[in-house]
Amino acid sequence: MRRFWILTVILGTLLMGLAAAQQGFSLSGRIGATDQEAQEGYFAIDNQTMIVVKPGSDFHAYLRSRVGQRVRMTVEPDGESE
């Protein structure tokens, strides 16, 4: 019986993860990075999520200018891509 419940929980978690991946998700919090991390493209959001971006990109410049501020980012799939 215990195996059944463990399997059910794992399967439910996987299904919820797949549904969230197709719909997108939002992150909100304070952006943190040391000077070296920001230069290399590593940014933390409230010490729970790490975002890595390509140095020199527009998004990199945006995140560097927002270190220490609260932001909300939404990641969702592009409707045109397959």
Q: What is the pLDDT of residues 1-36, one digit of tens each?
A: 777 777 777 777 766 665 555 677 788 899 999 999
Residue 20 has what pLDDT?
Answer: 54
- For 67, other C-beta atoms within 10 Å of its C-beta total 16
Residue 79 has what pLDDT?
Answer: 72
5 against 65, higher pLDDT = 65
- For 33, other C-beta atoms within 10 Å of its C-beta total 20
Q: What is the pLDDT of residues 31-64, one digit of tens each?
A: 999 999 999 999 998 878 888 999 999 999 999 9
User: In angstroms, rounded to a whole number, what is the distance separating the alpha carbons of residues 47 and 14?
Assistant: 24
Q: What is the pLDDT of residues 66-76, one digit of tens each?
A: 999 999 988 88
